[in-house]
Structure 1
Amino acid sequence: MKFIDEAIIEVKAGDGGNGCLSFRREKYVPRGGPDGGDGGNGGSCILKAKAGITTLMDLKFRKHFEAKRGVHGKGKKMYGKAGDDVVIIVPIGTTIKEAKTGKVLVDLARAGQEFVVAKGGKGGRGNARFVSSTRQAPQIAEKGKEGEEKTIKLELKLLADVGLIGFPNAGKSTLIAAISNARPKIADYPFTTKVPHLGVVRLNTEKSFVVADIPGLIEGAHKGAGMGIQFLKHIERTKILLHLIDVIDPTQSDPLAAYRAIREELGAYQPALLEKPEIIVLTKMDMQKAFEQKKEMEKVFKNLGKPIFAISALKKEGLKPLLQEASKFLT
């Protein structure tokens, strides 16, 4: 499933270093010629696509990037050092646009592809550059040029790594709101979620992944019941499924039968969906009635040979081990 992850950042390339106005002055050389060196070029801001990064999360926390300016030139025709570039790492598939106009500057579609988004200023020339047959002792040197400065918008069309599935009102929206930046509508009645929601889950500073809250499936979904086919197609490109089960759902007296019903819908729509890794998630453990059935339900589902986790998304209990287990399937 695709969605747009966005970030707006400011980039400032380094200014060029100034050229030097200098004349050679040494013992026995009282009237040496001009020897002012050039200033170094300013560093540029470069965007680079890298495999293994799936979101623009880091760029939402750091909004400003500035490259180093070039070092000024010196006497004895010593050139200033160029300023260091700033390389901004982005996921493959990131589109770069001008923030104000929306003009597309580049699509970074390949690993290792680079784009200079803000070019460093050129270093100024020292007075040694201005010597001519008619001007033997030039008293001029150039200042460095200013580096480019831009505000750019980055857009990333992402595929969801993890799909949340289950009957309506199984707790999918509550879970995605608890573990990510997504804020779906949440209420205690079926079909609250009518469109898929996606959120970025950040495990640590180096790892994050995208979760899709697939609206509740019902029996007959593969034939189009409810909005079944629209929802099922979003599951196809996820890497792992979290199958949420409300063990005290009044509309589903047998949780195991409810689980199998959803599995049948997946298989009827696309048999390959049954081959995806799956984690069974028993939800709403903050409710006394559900908690009392926890051990019994774990025994019932244990025979399926799949990881089982009991959680309370409302109280954020049991979420960390669940996410850590899910992340193992995304390496």
Structure 2
Amino acid sequence: MRKFDLLKLLILGLIALAFGSCSDDDSSTVDVPAAVLKITQDSDDNSKVTVEVEEATGVLSYVFSFGDGNTVNSEGPEASHTYLWNSEFTVSVVLTSAQGVSEVTGTLTVTDAESDVICNNNYYQLLTGGCQDGGPGLGKTWKFSIAPGAFQVGPGPEHGDWNPDQNVIWWGSQYNHWGGNNGEGISMPEALKSRFTFGLFPNVMEVQATHQINNWQEDITAKDYEDFESVYEGEDSYSVSIIEEDGAMFLQIMDGGFLGYKQTVDGVVNSKYEIVSLTETELYVRYLNVLNKNEPENGINYRYLKFVQEDVVEEEPAPAAE
């Protein structure tokens, strides 16, 4: 009788342990938000789309990505968008709650888009080379500039010298800065071979690179203000868009893409560049960053980067006359 009781207790204990283990595993995922994605296209113009998140509870924020380089951050479960070219797109929404993050996705096909909106846009024409017969052009390829001032740092809005209407620069590079003409003698020969080709329909940036330039703050062992070269760790292509905000034009690279020079700002790789100027042969951009992570009292500032069209040859300036 005692043997039977002991065996019975052992079996009951194993069953209880098994149920307890399942319960622990389930509790770690039960509160992650789940939802259904509803995509509605206008019956008269299927380039106009409304995306709704249904059956989601406890969601604090929604990040809608429309698959063409455009995103919307919202506290509500619905967003509308108009596509500017015809293609199949993947739409995704990242849901954030107090307990976790999840993502829902869906696809749609656009056939009624008016591509003239992009084909006639001066910024897209200069960046990509424009359209051909209302469709994709050949694209335009850019490279790092090595001209004087191709890499600069200027004050940000928390600094007394800052003026949003002026290009005020604290420091500017000399000719061939990336080639070693700097105070530290540091060169980035492989990263200078990088090429960035912007095209239309779909709007993408194709990257040809084996190495990248990193802001010194990317590595806690790097010396202050000494940027360094490393193996390229990005993708071969990224969706892009040109957007306007508060009267300024921005080049937005999706999914953490960057223009050859990597810097993390507030924990995220900088992928949004304000267009300072854009011509047939020169792309001049800037972004806000923290000057020195070890000295936050320096505040924020702009970092300026200049790129030139691939065929441009930049010669060293002649010495100033004495």
Q: Give the TM-score normalised by structure 1.
A: 0.24
Tell me: higher relative CO, structure 1 or 2? Use CA pairs within 8 A at least 6 residues apart: 1
Q: Report which of the two has the higher share of strand.
A: 2
Q: Report which of the two has the higher share of helix.
A: 1
Q: Give the TM-score normalised by structure 2.
A: 0.25
